[in-house]
Structure 1
Amino acid sequence: MSRKRTHDSDKEMDSGSEDSSRQDSEAEAGSDSEEKEIVDVDFEFFDPKPIDFHSMKRMLMGSFGDDAEDFNLSGLVDLILSQNTIGSTVKFEGDDDPYAFLTVLNMHVHADKEPIQQIKDYLLKKAEKRGVSSKLSEIFNAPGHVGLLFSERVVNMPPQVVAPMLKMLVEELEWAVADGEPYEFEHYVLLAPMYRETEAIDDDEGGAKKRTGPAIDAYAHAEDEFIEEFACAKFDYKFSRSKRVAESRNSFADTGLAPSRRCLVIHKSKMPALIARLESALAM
């Protein structure tokens, strides 16, 4: 594997059962102190490799959520792996499976490929429902190339890995452009996972609760909140195939969580400031 760089990450983790018992005793005595221990986690950045295929596909299935079956995700991963000098994966020392990856695909160069056609048509339909299809079509059809940005990671991977991966990606794109390769993007498109929290109230007849009231949107990935600051266009959309009722803590919960997505479009001129913002907000 082609190793790129090594980072050490300090993660806070709860102590073992003996510490938990002591904390309970301290809590009963009026103490709010908690014992924490610092665990050093070594992880490394690598170029995408064929061995990463299944892990990447699993992460992409999570990205496309309930609508994942509408896309040729195997073909999408093949496209990503075909440009193995672009993008990064993150692995823990001694583990072959990536826990995160970040890369970009040229939507113009791969316009005739089924996975890109599917994603483009899907986004235009979603944008049409939100009344912003003309703006998205203008971006897709402009002379400048559009990069479809993928930033995926497992739940327990810290967001601090995103800034260095994005910085490396921009450097790789600059090197590729210098070599005459088609990676000079005008815009980047990112599909950010969201959750919408909704209030629950009894219906007029005192029956089952219904989700209603003002919605509170929250990003599943902490870094996307900062990325949104640099977006020149955005729109939210729901899954087409979703038949699930918003999840709730239990039958007596007052709120529920409904998964959705937010499409963010970033102009190339914003990338340096975006990376600086992520480095500052999510310092290693």
Structure 2
Amino acid sequence: MSRKRTHDNSDKEMDSGEDSNQELDNEEESGADSDAGSEPDEKEIVDVDFEFFDPKPIDFHAMKRMLMSAFGDDAEDFSLSALVDLILSQNTIGSTVKFEGDDDPYAFLTVLNMHAHADKEPIRQIKDYLLKKAEKRGSAAKLSEIFDGPGHVGLLLSERVVNMPPQVVAPMLKMLVEELEWAVADGEPYDFEHYVLLAPMYRETEAADDEGVKRTAPVIDAYAHAEDEFIEEFAGTKFDYKFSRSKRVAESRNSFADTGLAPSRRCLVIHRSKMPALIARLESALAM
């Protein structure tokens, strides 16, 4: 892992930690055996160097694809191109992660000021969307209080591709907080009171018996991103919501499973006073 780099690839005076190699599992997403006669659970381990960069215009399409994943089945409800443009317009805030010699980012983390950009279409869409979802969960009053309060709200956007390890999140978040401190010192509008994160979830769905009657079973929730389990510990407000446009049959349903996993989201709101402890928790729990 290398330090963060700027647009012209010159080093910034910010170090994300000691250089290291991150071992990644090089597996087929389908889980099928790669070669006949090999053990089913055999994994090939490869060493990969990755680096942190400032967001660049060349990252546009990759970031848009990751945002489509972040917003799931409801992605078409948002102006994602405009959202990426907004991210790239503040190119000194946030990070992307790239493998050595590859131009496409495999992960990114940034934050957008929902007050300063309140008139921008994608921010209006996201705010209205979350308020509607919160209303169904009885959290609209609290969320409105946060959105309409005097303190600025930061929309924390974090996404990565399959097999990118969660260990990249802690250094990215630490760098982000430092960048925000520098920006505030320069008089820029990044003094956030709250941070809002949309965490991808999977919820176990109930199955019906042969007569179509649902069987009662404990509901199991699981985070798609391992780091969100620790971030939730510091959330002062949270609520779950389903996609408006979701029409898919739950995944992983087969003859050996009575239930499937349906994608959903959990909105987490973190007060700025919790950020130092949150970063320390991530660094400890997801140590390189």
Give the TM-score, by structure 1 length. 0.89
- 2:171 equivalent among 140, 164, 169: 164
CA contact (8 A) 1:201 1:212 kept: no
Gaps of 5+ in 2: 1-6, 28-32
1:71-150 residue pairs with structure 2 within 5 A? 71-150=78-157
- 1:36-70 deviations in Å (ceiling 9; x for gaps): 66422100000000000000000000111111111
Q: Confirm whether residue 11 of structure 1 aligns to residue 24 of structure 2.
A: yes
CA contact (8 A) 2:74 2:245 kept: yes
Gaps of 5+ in 1: 25-33
- 1:225 equivalent among 229, 235, 247: 229
CA contact (8 A) 1:65 1:239 kept: yes
Q: Is the strand fraction higher in 1 or 2?
A: 1
- 2:247 equivalent among 238, 243, 246: 243
- 1:193 is paired with a residue whose SS is strand
Task: Tell me what 2:30 maps to.
Answer: none
Note closer, same or farther for the CA distance 1:35–1:74 as it changes in structure 2 (3 Å cut): closer
Note closer, same or farther for the CA distance 1:56–1:13 as it changes in structure 2 (3 Å cut): closer
Task: Tell me what 1:272 maps to.
Answer: 276
CA contact (8 A) 2:25 2:163 kept: no
Q: CA deviation at 1:156?
A: 1.1
Of 250-259 and 189-198, the range deviating more from structure 2: 250-259
Note closer, same or farther for the CA distance 1:35–1:251 as it changes in structure 2 (3 Å cut): closer
CA contact (8 A) 1:56 1:77 kept: yes
Task: Tell me what 1:59 maps to.
Answer: 66
Task: Tell me what 2:197 maps to.
Answer: 190
Of 38-47 and 247-256, the range deviating more from structure 2: 247-256
- 1:43 equivalent among 50, 56, 78: 50
- 2:257 equivalent among 253, 256, 260: 253
CA distance in 2, matches of 1:173, 1:273: 17
CA distance in 1, matches of 2:279, 2:64: 26
CA contact (8 A) 2:24 2:163 kept: no
Q: CA deviation at 1:212?
A: 5.0
Letter in structure 2 aligned against 1:83: Q
Give the TM-score, by structure 2 length. 0.87
Q: CA deviation at 1:215?
A: 1.2
- 2:92 is paired with a residue whose SS is coil
CA contact (8 A) 1:192 1:221 kept: yes
Note closer, same or farther for the CA distance 1:17–1:63 as it changes in structure 2 (3 Å cut): closer
CA distance in 2, matches of 1:237, 1:118: 16
- 1:215 is paired with a residue whose SS is coil
Q: CA deviation at 1:153?
A: 0.2
Q: CA deviation at 1:149?
A: 0.1
Note closer, same or farther for the CA distance 1:182–1:20 as it changes in structure 2 (3 Å cut): farther
CA distance in 1, matches of 2:50, 2:215: 42
CA distance in 2, matches of 1:96, 1:35: 30
CA contact (8 A) 1:198 1:211 kept: no
Task: Tell me what 2:3 maps to.
Answer: none
CA contact (8 A) 2:197 2:268 kept: yes
Task: Tell me what 2:182 maps to.
Answer: 175
Q: CA deviation at 1:11?
A: 3.2
Letter in structure 2 aligned against 1:243: K
CA contact (8 A) 1:246 1:256 kept: yes
- 1:210-258 deviations in Å (ceiling 9; x for gaps): 5753310000000000000000000000001111222233255211111
- 2:279 is paired with a residue whose SS is helix
CA contact (8 A) 2:24 2:164 kept: no
CA contact (8 A) 2:107 2:161 kept: yes
CA contact (8 A) 1:99 1:154 kept: yes
CA distance in 2, matches of 1:165, 1:185: 17
CA contact (8 A) 1:211 1:256 kept: no
Q: Kindly report the root-mean-square deviation, in angstroms, between the aligned alpha carbons of the 2 structures.
A: 2.2
Specify the structure having the higher radius of gyration (Cα).
1
Percentage of matched positions with identical amino acids: 84
Q: CA deviation at 1:198?
A: 2.5
Note closer, same or farther for the CA distance 1:35–1:61 as it changes in structure 2 (3 Å cut): closer
